[in-house]
Every structure is written in structure tokens, then in C-alpha cells.
Structure 1
Amino acid sequence: MTTENNNRHRILDGMRKAVHDKLTPKQRDLPKTTKGKAGALLRDEMKRSTETDPKKREAAAKKSLAARLGVKVDSVYRYLSGKRKNPPKEIADKLDKEVRDSAKPGLKKKVINEAKGKSVRIQSRAKFGYGNSATGTSTPDSRWRNIAQTLPASYATPLWDALEHGDDARAQEILQAFMQNEYINEGGKHGNVDVELADLDYMDFTIE
């Protein structure tokens, strides 16, 4: 995965986690076992499938799930049957994330709709490169910054729209625009400074 794609996924993944965390403990309840998680994800894949034949639909869903988790189809069969209860940590984490992201779509839609029009708090460790549009110069090396800022609704609302559409590129554009216009340039005080998001260590969101 390229650095740019990694940045994009961390932004939307952080937003998805914030939405999940906004649910009540009962609403956040998810399958606990590997078998239960794999089964929930298989049902999700089958809902997305356009295959009409039941057997072909299930087989295609298992193949899609394997690709989604980054494992072989045989591994998916073992997870579903309960024969493989403890996958490697990387796969276990992937199962957790995918189940969390795909569960309770109606409730999460409600959280997102309620969040629109409001500010959102971000905390991040990010690396930025800087340039000057007036002189055409740029910094030779990007710099890491610890960020703790509140995005006003003018930035937060389109960011939620990007999440709903799964638009990673748009999410990064919005976040980068905020960092350039409001954080670095302080609303226009330093209007010639251009910002490029080079890397993300993490990106956490808190819905206020």
C-alpha cells in the first residue's frame, strides 16, 4: 500500500471508529469468536452479491471475504467451521475492524447524520511538507507534528459526506485544506504557505 493510500485509509478508518464509539455499549456489541465474526462478514458479503444461484452466491461470498481479509479461501472455511479459532494477530485485528465497520449500518447512518453541521475534534501525529506559492520554494524534508484541533462544521460536514461515499481522496483533500487554511495559515495570516500531507502515524476523531 502506498503512503498516500495509507493516509487515506487511516482518515476514514478513524472516522468509522468514532462513529462506532458513539453507539451505546449495547449497540456496540459484536460477535466475540472468530467463527461468529467470519459468519457476520460472510452474511455481509452475501448481501452485496449479485449472484442469484444460492450455492454460487455463497461460494462467491466466501471468495470475496477471503480477499477482504487477505487470506486463502481455505482459511475462511476453517474460520466459519470453527476449526481455526485463533488466527494470526494481523488477521484477528482485520476481522475485528471489518466486523466493526460493517455492523449496525442503520444506527451508524443516524450518528453520521446527527454529526453533520457540528464540529469534530481530531488528534493526530502527521508529517507535513511545506511550500511557498509566491516564491516557488519548498522545504527539503517533511516535519512531524502532533495535532489536536477542532474542525468547524464547514470542514467536518463534507468530511462526513466523504465517509458516506467511501471517498478516501476527498477526505484527504478536506483534511489537508483545513491544515493549510486554518492550522498553518491561521485563516489567511500566512496565505502563501502550501501544505502537503506526507504521512500519518494515526488519526483519531471525536464527535462532539
Structure 2
Amino acid sequence: MPEDNNHRERILDGMRKAVHDKLTPKQRDLPKTTKGKASALLRDEMKRSTETDPKKREAAAKKSLAARLGVKVDSVYRYLSGKRKNPPKAIAEKLDKEVRDRAKPGLKKKVVKEARGKSIRIQSRAKFGYGTPSQPGVTTTPDDRWRNIAATLPASYATPLWDALEHGDDARAQEILQAYIQNEYINEGGTHGNVDVKLADLDYMDFTID
């Protein structure tokens, strides 16, 4: 699997969304306006700050939030004041994602705890090729193709994947999914021999907790 941070983000983001979706509609209730979302994220940043002076802490939190969203500090001020109600689509999506990921941490930990040891369904669209195991003079096929994957990860793969999510270990999450695709999805537990899988690109990866 390539060292691609975009791939890593899609995998862990997919898991975080699955956890969020497992909450009840009431539990999933989040701020609706740009101002409300920015305010919630600012509170989160202030909780993380080690600055003791209240004014400096708030200023540092706004600067950190701007970096988090990929905007200028002036934009954060406009979001918080309500002067900018409709940010660009990419920023609006970032606001939604950040608020969703940070909300209800206690409830989400409970969801993950209950999901441990169980299987988890995945649905993905990925580009990958495969060939014979790597040996001197033998390479995997360069014929990468987009393929749809719909499968259920058994607990032996799902449990360490939850561990990776808990620790924010993007690289480990990639390794686990790479192992599943190669060992189980393609090789079917060894019944089809052994092939090496090369994941070239990842469009999306959705997870569903039963």
C-alpha cells in the first residue's frame, strides 16, 4: 500500500464516520450553522491549549483553528461572528468533518468498545493490481484497475483496526487492510495460491458497524 496520507485519512475518516453513524439521531445532533460549528471547534481548541492567560489562550486557539481548517485567522473571526455564513464548499465540508469527529467522545468510545471483537463491513472503490509473490526477477503486474470491494472483515482483522483508530495510527490501519485484501479477499485464505497486492489509489472506503 503506498505511503499516501490521503489514503490514510480516507480509511480512518471512514471508521470515524461509521462510529458517528452508529449513534442515535439525537446523539448525532450537531451544530447546524457555520458559526455554531466554528464555536464548537474553538472550544475544543481552547481545551487543548496549555496557555494560562485567557486572552492569549483564545487568540492561540483561533490561530490553531485556522490552521486546522486551512484558512486565514480573519476567516475564523468571520465564522465566529456570523458575518461569513456560507464558506467555500471545501471549507464547509472540513467544518462538518471536524465537528463530527470531535463530538460526543464518550459515546463514541462506548460504540467502539461494543464493536470490538465483532466483524465490520467495508465497501470500497480502489485501484489495485496483483501478481505472483515478490521474488528476484518477478514483479507484480502494472495493470492496475479500479475495483469495487464489498466484504466483511472478521474480528481477527477488525479488532486491530479499532486499535489503530483509537491510537490514530494511520500506517497500521493501512497495513491491516492491505493484509486483508491480499490474504483473504484476493487469495481467499490461500485457496487461490499467493499473490502480492499493490494498491495504487483509493476513491473511498466506507465502514458499517452491525
Q: Which interval holds the TM-score relative to the shorter structure?
A: over 0.9
Counterpart secondary structure, 2:4 = helix
Instruction: Confirm or deny that 1:162 pairs with 2:164.
Output: yes
Which position in structure 1 is the counterpart of 2:25?
A: 25
From the superposition, tell whether residues 44 and 132 of structure 1 become closer, same or farther in structure 2 (CA, over 3 Å). same
How far residue 100 of structure 1 moved from its aligned partner, in angstroms, is: 0.5
Which position in structure 2 is the counterpart of 1:97?
A: 97
Distance 1:14 1:26 in 2: 21
5+ long unaligned stretches in structure 2: none
8 Å CA contact 1:3, 1:199 repeated in 2: no
Encode CA deviations 1:53-85: one digit per residue, 9 max, x unaligned. Answer: 111111111011001101000000000011111
How far residue 189 of structure 1 moved from its aligned partner, in angstroms, is: 2.0
Distance 1:11 1:191 in 2: 28
8 Å CA contact 2:134, 2:196 repeated in 1: no
Which position in structure 2 is the counterpart of 1:50?
A: 50
Equivalent residue pairs, number: 207
Which position in structure 2 is the counterpart of 1:139?
A: 141
**Correspondence for 1:179 among 177, 181, 193:** 181
How far residue 3 of structure 1 moved from its aligned partner, in angstroms, is: 7.2
Q: Percent identity?
A: 87
Instruction: Confirm or deny that 1:8 pairs with 2:16.
Output: no
5+ long unaligned stretches in structure 1: none
**Correspondence for 1:193 among 195, 203, 206:** 195
- Runs of 4+ residues over 6 Å off in structure 1: none
Which position in structure 2 is the counterpart of 1:84?
A: 84
How far residue 191 of structure 1 moved from its aligned partner, in angstroms, is: 4.0
Encode CA deviations 1:94-147: one digit per residue, 9 max, x unaligned. Answer: 101110010000000000111100000000001113232265221123121100
Given the two structures, how large is their TM-score scaled by the length of structure 2? 0.95
Letter in 2 for 1:198: A
Given the two structures, how large is their TM-score scaled by the length of structure 1? 0.96
Q: Provide the aligned C-alpha RMSD in A.
A: 1.3
8 Å CA contact 1:3, 1:198 repeated in 2: no
Distance 1:106 1:64 in 2: 24
